[in-house]
Amino acid sequence: MLGKEDGEQPVESPNHPHVAESHRTLSRDQHAISRKEISENALKVLYRLNKGGYDAYLVGGGVRDLLLGRRPKDFDIATNATPEQIKALFSNCRLIGRRFRLAHIVFGRDVIEVATFRGHHHQVNTSKHVSAQSDEGMLLRDNVYGTIEEDAERRDFTVNALYYSVKDFTLHDFEGGLDDLAERKLELIGDPETRYREDPVRMLRAVRFAAKLEMTISPRTAAPISLLAPLLQDIPPARLFEETLKLFLAGDGLATYTLLREYGLFQQLFPQVAAHFTPHGSSPYEQFIEQALIDTDRRVFEEKRVNPAFLYATLLWGCVEARGRELENESGLPWYDAFMLAINEVLDSQVRIIAVPRRFTTDVRDIWALQQRLTRRQGRHPERAMEHPKFRAAYDFLLLRNRVERGLGELASWWERYVTSHPEVRPQLQREATRRPASSERPGEARSNDGEKRSSNRRRPRRRKPKVAE
Ligand code: ATP
Ligand code: MG
């Protein structure tokens, strides 16, 4: 029986009505993929599976990106060997996933993902371990195994359903992916609404690929997205965190963000941020987010490290500022307390949707709390701020704010001078700063351009240790 876990044979073709009539096979000289472009580890896995008597193909982004002349992010493999059979072949194999069982073949830091051909759920008498669906049509388990043709049908986009074999160097197209690739068109396989309901993350993937590959989402694939966007609320927050890293930190963050907004998907992921959106998308907060994403994309391009904490700090910054002001006005709390309370509220509310791990939220808090600390330039404050492990991030954050927020120029350039100057010169800089009143002691203050200085004079020196900054 299909999906049985021990003593089983490679999966045979069951009689499924969808016999891939459109199956196109391209021989070695009809396509541009060469083994030289495939990672050594992926090749090892493919050869070993073939040698073990199984079919094995490179599939998904690996094939798609090579055909587009891009360097693939990773190499995914599909095979008719079951997870247990794969495990028996590789000592460096880990089986992972419940919703979607996979084998990971581990080569140090490089992991090759091997998936057994997926089949159709309605064909077999499925048990709950193998397949399960929610009332909304969402697939909770997807472990029915099948043939390569069925596997192709179960994939998301036609361009992701191309298979390359190292046995005979053939390229297989079951869903019209080659034509769509030529037209640079993202086409969901099957009925879009059903496929989004099965897995709403496919909506995020549509946007991500469109941005990254500069492809257009076909009208039928795009049509249901706005309506179905709320289904993202049913996705486990931990999975959404992983997805947001791919959306914003993979080098096409700005383009992805723009499309996510257009399709109403961003609003589902970050409702607090979306509450501040303006019709033309040109508020300082929106400019700030765009600027942050431009910088992030540039860093990725330059192969520099990008930090999820910095990303989340920028995305949610306007919410924290606004909520801080609200709390200050409503409750009469001193600014600093209101600001700290706002940090907690905004983060608590966000992590219910996207499970940002604590190690990152701790850094987000530090970056924000340091914005406040950086306004204090007397005594040992600057020196101590510089010793904080998140100083560099907080300083970069201040400079980024300065590009959009008004009234930060003096503070930002002072810090630039302070950071770059010799320690002996620093006291002089401090004396200068204290002679002149600080330009903006409160985040966002300078933005209230009604000409009136709001109750910022309530600022008072704070002796207590900040709750979260250290
Ligand atoms: P990249 O790795 O560049 O982000 P990819 O297309 O390889 O893009 P992966 O997440 O690595 O994406 O997935 C590998 C392949 O698995 C996809 O190309 C697709 O065929 C299939 N796949 C992944 N996620 C889904 C999904 N949610 N629904 C259907 N098929 C999927
Ligand atoms: Mg991939």
Say if residue 15's pLDDT is above 60: no
Taking the centre of ligand 1 as the mean of its atom positions, its distance from the CA of residue 62, in whole angstroms, is: 10
pLDDT the model gives residue 420: 86
pLDDT the model gives residue 382: 83
Please give the structure tokens belonging to residue 421.
């100057």
| Interval 390-402 mean pLDDT | 93
Query: pLDDT for 173-196, tens place per residue?
Result: 999 999 999 999 999 999 999 999
**Confidence band, pLDDT 50/70/90 cuts, at residue 445:** very low
Say if residue 6's pLDDT is above 80: no
pLDDT the model gives residue 439: 46
Residue 212 to residue 17: CA distance in whole angstroms: 35
Q: Quick one: which ligand is closest to 153's CA? A: 1
pLDDT the model gives residue 263: 97
pLDDT the model gives residue 454: 39
pLDDT the model gives residue 14: 43
Say if residue 312's pLDDT is above 70: yes
| Interval 89-109 mean pLDDT | 92
DSSP string, 266-315: HHHH-HHHHTT--TTS-SHHHHHHHHHHHHHHHHHHTT----HHHHHHHH
Say if residue 211's pLDDT is above 90: yes
22 or 201: which leads in pLDDT = 201
Q: Is the CB of 177 under 6 A from ligand 1?
A: no
Residue nearest to atom 28 of ligand 1 (CA): 156
Taking the centre of ligand 2 as the mean of its atom positions, its distance from the CA of residue 213, in whole angstroms, is: 13
Quote the crossing angle between the two packed helices 391-402 and 409-420, to the nearest 10°.
Answer: 140
DSSP string, 129-169: TTEEE-TTS-EEEE--B--HHHHHHHSSBGGG-EEE-TTT-
Phi then psi for residue 186, to 5 deg, are: -95, 120
**Confidence band, pLDDT 50/70/90 cuts, at residue 132:** confident
Q: Which three-class secondary structure state does DSSP give residue 351? A: helix
Q: Which of 134-143, 322-331, 432-441 has the lowest mean pLDDT?
A: 432-441
* 399-437 as b/e: b if 16+ CB within 10 A: ebbbebbebbeebbebbeebeeeeeeebeebbeebeeee
Q: How far is CA 112 from CA 41, 45, 50, 78, in A?
A: 7, 8, 16, 11
pLDDT the model gives residue 291: 96
> DSSP character for 220?
H
| Interval 449-458 mean pLDDT | 38
| Interval 159-185 mean pLDDT | 97
**Confidence band, pLDDT 50/70/90 cuts, at residue 462:** very low
Say if residue 313's pLDDT is above 70: yes
**Confidence band, pLDDT 50/70/90 cuts, at residue 17:** very low
Q: Which of 399-403, 418-422, 444-448 has the lowest mean pLDDT?
A: 444-448
**Confidence band, pLDDT 50/70/90 cuts, at residue 100:** confident
In sequence order, what are the residues at sequence separation of 6 or more whose Cβ sits closer than 8 angstroms to the Cβ of residue 338? 324, 325, 327, 328, 331
**318 membership: H or E segment, kind and range:** helix 308-331
Taking the centre of ligand 1 as the mean of its atom positions, its distance from the CA of residue 421, in whole angstroms, is: 49
Residue nearest to atom 27 of ligand 1 (CA): 202
Class of 24-234 in CATH:
alpha beta
| Interval 113-131 mean pLDDT | 73
Q: Is the CB of 61 under 6 A from ligand 1?
A: yes
Strand partners, 114: 77, 103
**Confidence band, pLDDT 50/70/90 cuts, at residue 330:** very high
Average pLDDT, the chain: 86
| Interval 194-221 mean pLDDT | 97
| Interval 367-396 mean pLDDT | 88
Q: Is the CB of 441 under 6 A from ligand 1?
A: no
Say if residue 427's pLDDT is above 60: yes
Residue nearest to atom 7 of ligand 1 (CA): 61
Residue 195 to residue 198: CA distance in whole angstroms: 5
Q: Which of 170-179, 338-347, 412-421 has the lowest mean pLDDT?
A: 412-421
CA 212 to ligand 1: nearest atom = 3
- Give ranges for CATH 3.30.460.10 in the chain: 24-234
Say if residue 238's pLDDT is above 90: yes
Query: pLDDT for 57-81, tens place per residue?
Result: 999 999 999 999 999 999 999 999 9
Residue 213 to residue 155: CA distance in whole angstroms: 18
Predicted TM-score (pTM) of this structure = 0.86
CA torsion 104→105→107→112, rounded to 10°? Answer: -70
Query: pLDDT for 253-278, tens place per residue?
Result: 999 999 999 999 999 999 999 999 99
Query: Do residues 55 and 13 make contact, with C-beta atoms less than 8 angstroms apart?
Result: no
pLDDT the model gives residue 127: 61
- Give ranges for CATH 1.10.3090.10 in the chain: 288-458
**Encoded amino acid at 448, one letter:** S
**Confidence band, pLDDT 50/70/90 cuts, at residue 355:** very high
% of the chain beyond a pLDDT of 70: 85
pLDDT the model gives residue 21: 60
> Homologous superfamily of 288-458 in CATH?
cca-adding enzyme, domain 2 (1.10.3090.10)
Say if residue 443's pLDDT is above 60: no
pLDDT the model gives residue 326: 95
Query: Do residues 335 and 406 make contact, with C-beta atoms less than 8 angstroms apart?
Result: no
Query: Do residues 206 and 222 make contact, with C-beta atoms less than 8 angstroms apart?
Result: yes
